[in-house]
Structure 1
């Protein structure tokens, strides 16, 4: 048995070919998942192989990588700016009387408000917003990027035939759409981690298939859908997907300010281990 894991933003491994990057991430993430099983008291539970579906070479560009050296809000294009505004307003949860002024405020002022509201340094929030906006924009608004990323995830699931798929961050969006596009793919347990699927104005309204009456739908081949969110995760906005999607389980956890949005942190959580353990069992002989 194999688990398929789908990464989110900021996972480009420079200098490695896609298959090499996938192998490297698979090794790292299985180690993290092993930590999670140990933390959950499941040391004796069989831990299957893990395969990473790697698409970051499509959603990142050389320019996007340079942004890690210093956030450049002025370089954002219109879709990216619109995304940052939608994300920031949802992230900070402004009161009604604040919304109008914040929606028209300069981006730096808006992000400064988010930083104060969430207790995160402004530089961290700004770097995060620039990287997130760039990768989300390329996926949602560049058709060939979207098609390529979805195809990679669908092919990984088709080949591995996993019972469990773990999809993090932007990867949860890619996987949701890939499973919808390929209803023949069956997954017993679909786990979204730190997912922005429900982000109105930034992600939710651009999904394929389009939501109906403000609701997304369960991919036909998914048996059980769990959503886990770190309470401090700046991407899991809103953290509860149940208001917009037919998830079977939602759970919040606190993982700390330092690694508030990394796949490894979610994989090392005992909550993730406890969620997927019932679906991991030895193959019949």
Structure 2
């Protein structure tokens, strides 16, 4: 069995070719996925081989985004992404919302830090990475086209049964699969996905949502969404409210490690979501992943 893993924000590996970067990430994430299978009691299953769809080199991540969480370099368009994200995180009252929209950026993020009880430095780091990469993907046409093409080509070459798409990678994979309906996968698993983020992402998707609902890519047979309830990027974490997700499950991957791809891959729920597709010849017509038992392990 083969899966394609589509990475999220913060995965640019400088000084490597795209092929080398993809191989390095696959080498990091393969053991994590095996750990998830073991935690779910699925050691006897055939373990899938991880191929990484690497597109970070097209995002042209700057040193600001990759290393220094510097709010002073956030431009006006990037700031709008952060504001949309911050407001979605806190569900403030109308009066609070109006005040926050015009507040200085650090004040907005301090508000999130207090609400979520997360250190302000962590909030700023996530905000800077998220704003830069999301804005470039959604609003720089050549970046968007190149990233989608890289993901589509990886899926075309690997012909996976499953696509695991994390963070911003879930947005890229969603659009790539829509743009290439000839690409078919038995299961799309979105992990820590911000696809439904109002204003910041959802309203800019291609194809555009209709009646406040996104559509399933034509080649996707089954869609599972997994999100840690404390994941600051998976906002809102229940994609089923806006997308035709077949199954959603909340997973706990840790207060500190609440968004990394590795932590999601090591979750037993990820293994349970994948396991019905290990042998593609025996995939049943009706699929229902048994997440209940995995939570107990």
Between the aligned partners of 1:166 and 1:118, the Cα distance in structure 2 is: 27
Which residue of structure 2 aligns with residue 239 of structure 1?
237
Cα deviation per residue 1:119-162 (whole Å; 9 max; x = unaligned)?
10001101110111000011101111101110111111111111
TM-superposed CA distance for 1:69, in Å, is: 3.8
Q: Is the 8 A contact 1:46 1:282 kept in 2?
A: no
Please show how residues 161-200 of structure 1 align to structure 2 within 5 Å: 161-200=159-198
Give the TM-score taking structure 1 as reference length: 0.96
Q: Which moved more, 1:235-244 or 1:248-257?
A: 248-257
Q: Is the 8 A contact 1:215 1:244 kept in 2?
A: yes
Residue among 215, 236, 261 paired with 1:263: 261
Cα deviation per residue 1:78-99 (whole Å; 9 max; x = unaligned)?
2201000000000122133321
TM-superposed CA distance for 1:20, in Å, is: 0.3
Between the aligned partners of 1:218 and 1:192, the Cα distance in structure 2 is: 12
Q: Is the 8 A contact 2:161 2:280 kept in 1?
A: no
Matched residue SS, 2:239: coil
Between the aligned partners of 2:280 and 2:220, the Cα distance in structure 1 is: 20
Between the aligned partners of 1:96 and 1:23, the Cα distance in structure 2 is: 47
Q: Is the 8 A contact 2:64 2:70 kept in 1?
A: no
Q: Is the 8 A contact 2:10 2:66 kept in 1?
A: no
Could you say what the CA RMSD is over the residues aligned between the two structures, in angstroms? Answer: 1.3
Q: Determine whether 1:9 maps to 2:9.
A: yes
Cα deviation per residue 1:165-217 (whole Å; 9 max; x = unaligned)?
00000000000000000001111100000000000110000000011111100
Which residue of structure 1 aligns with residue 45 of structure 2?
45
Between the aligned partners of 1:187 and 1:226, the Cα distance in structure 2 is: 12
Residue among 230, 248, 251 paired with 2:249: 251
Give the TM-score taking structure 2 as reference length: 0.92
Residue among 157, 160, 163 paired with 2:158: 160
Between the aligned partners of 2:154 and 2:115, the Cα distance in structure 1 is: 39
Cα deviation per residue 1:99-130 (whole Å; 9 max; x = unaligned)?
11112111111100000101100011011101
Relative distance call for 1:212 and 1:86 in structure 2 (3 A) is: same
The number of aligned residues is: 282
Between the aligned partners of 1:218 and 1:283, the Cα distance in structure 2 is: 23
Any stretches of 5+ residues in structure 2 without a counterpart? 283-297
Q: Is the 8 A contact 1:68 1:127 kept in 2?
A: no
TM-superposed CA distance for 1:283, in Å, is: 6.7
Which residue of structure 1 aligns with residue 123 of structure 2?
125
Please show how residues 1-285 of structure 1 align to structure 2 within 5 Å: 1-61=1-61, 63=62, 65-281=63-279
Between the aligned partners of 2:216 and 2:65, the Cα distance in structure 1 is: 35
